[in-house]
Amino acid sequence: MSAPLPSSKPDVRPIVVKIGGAAGVDLENVCNDVVELIRCGERVVVVNGGSEAGERVLKAFSLERPEVTTPTGTVVRLTHVTTLRVLMMAWVGEVNKRVVLALAERGIPGVGLCGADGRVLVAKRRPPLKIHDGGRVRIDREHLAGEIHSVNTGLLSMLLDQGYVPVVCPPAITEEGVLVNVDADQIAASIATALGARALVMLSNVPGLLENPNEPLTLVRSSDDVEGCMQLAAGRMRYKLDAARKALQGGVPSVYVSSSRVPRPVFVALTEESGTKFTLPRKQQEVANART
């Protein structure tokens, strides 16, 4: 029997489900829930990452994305034209189409889109990157990274209205027509904000935010202080919390970070049986809602 959703009847506001790209993510498991949500009358947008697939394809081409350090101490993985083309094979050609095919096998029509398709994700390219290099600072002007500037909500809404499931992935495109790498968690947050989603569910290979990353029993079940939780986060979890903060401040009522590998991953996240739920304090939520 289906787990109940928080609302008693379908909401016209969509649910955005982000499927992580790390090793161990159960894509098929998530797609089962997406299909059931659709059949319950929900509107769903899926965002897929592709980090594990991307690294595998880069290795097959004997390529790598070097890590560099900025003058502020931030570690950045570089993306240039050649590596971005290869990464697209994984993000767009492999993982995105796996999601579309998984939905099709279950009788649900999905439409795969990268940011350039219909200009669904328009980004602003980041400025040239200052890099520490052997005791001196050099500038990398070829680094292709960006931040989401706008979302083509008209296209996404049209697809949703016609009964399709948009499946969106990086890269994004700039106003000048340049493809840029954008973090998939940030894409999910931007889409959720732009569409006025009622929930953002980010599923990966970890159970949620842990006070101790090596102890699953230290799971933080809920918090209205994303900023304060940043001190507990490490690695990719910091990106997820940053995306959660962006979505909440953009008016999304709830963000869930949970595992893709538990039974019924989307449903148990939405019903708070698994993972971590993030909200804003009531006063901040009222301010965020007033801005949307």
CATH code at position 237: 3.40.1160.10
Residue 90 inside a domain? The answer is yes
65: its two tokens:
């994305």
Cα separation, 223 vs 221, in Å, equals 7
DSSP 94: I
Name which of 184, 177, 208, 250 is nearest 50 in CA terms. Answer: 184
- pLDDT, one tens digit per residue, over 167-205 is 999 999 999 999 999 999 999 999 999 999 999 999 999
Cα separation, 228 vs 49, in Å, equals 26
Question: Is the CA virtual torsion 99, 100, 106, 108 positive or negative?
Answer: positive
What does DSSP say about strands 110-114 and 199-204: parallel, antiparallel, or unpaired? unpaired
What local confidence, expressed as pLDDT, does residue 3 receive?
46
Residue 2 inside a domain? The answer is no
DSSP for 49-65 reads: --HHHHHHHHHHTT---
* Positions in the chain short of pLDDT 50: 1-4, 7-8
**Which domain, by its residues, includes 164?**
15-291
Residue 282 inside a domain? The answer is yes
C-alpha distances (whole Å) from 260 to each of 30, 123, 197, 202 are 6, 28, 20, 9
What local confidence, expressed as pLDDT, does residue 55 receive?
95
Residue 144 inside a domain? The answer is yes
What local confidence, expressed as pLDDT, does residue 212 receive?
85
107: its two tokens:
């009788």
What local confidence, expressed as pLDDT, does residue 184 receive?
96
Burial readout 183-216 (b: 16 or more C-beta within 10 A, e: otherwise): bbbbbbbbbbbbbebbbbbbbbbbbbbbeeeeee
What local confidence, expressed as pLDDT, does residue 283 receive?
65
Residue 1 inside a domain? The answer is no
C-alpha distances (whole Å) from 46 to each of 18, 41, 49, 118, 282 are 6, 16, 10, 16, 28
Residue 115 inside a domain? The answer is yes
Q: Are 44 and 15 in contact (CB under 8 A)?
A: yes
What local confidence, expressed as pLDDT, does residue 69 receive?
87
The predicted model scores a pTM of 0.91
Name which of 187, 209, 206 is nearest 197 in CA terms. Answer: 187
What local confidence, expressed as pLDDT, does residue 4 receive?
46
What local confidence, expressed as pLDDT, does residue 172 receive?
98
Residue 7 inside a domain? The answer is no
Helix, strand, coil percentages (3-state) for the chain, rounded to 5, are 40, 25, 35
Instruction: Give the chain's domain count.
Output: 1
What local confidence, expressed as pLDDT, does residue 2 receive?
45
Residue 136 inside a domain? The answer is yes
What does DSSP say about strands 199-204 and 222-223: parallel, antiparallel, or unpaired? unpaired
Cα separation, 93 vs 98, in Å, equals 8
Angle between helices 184-195 and 153-161 (to 10 degrees): 70
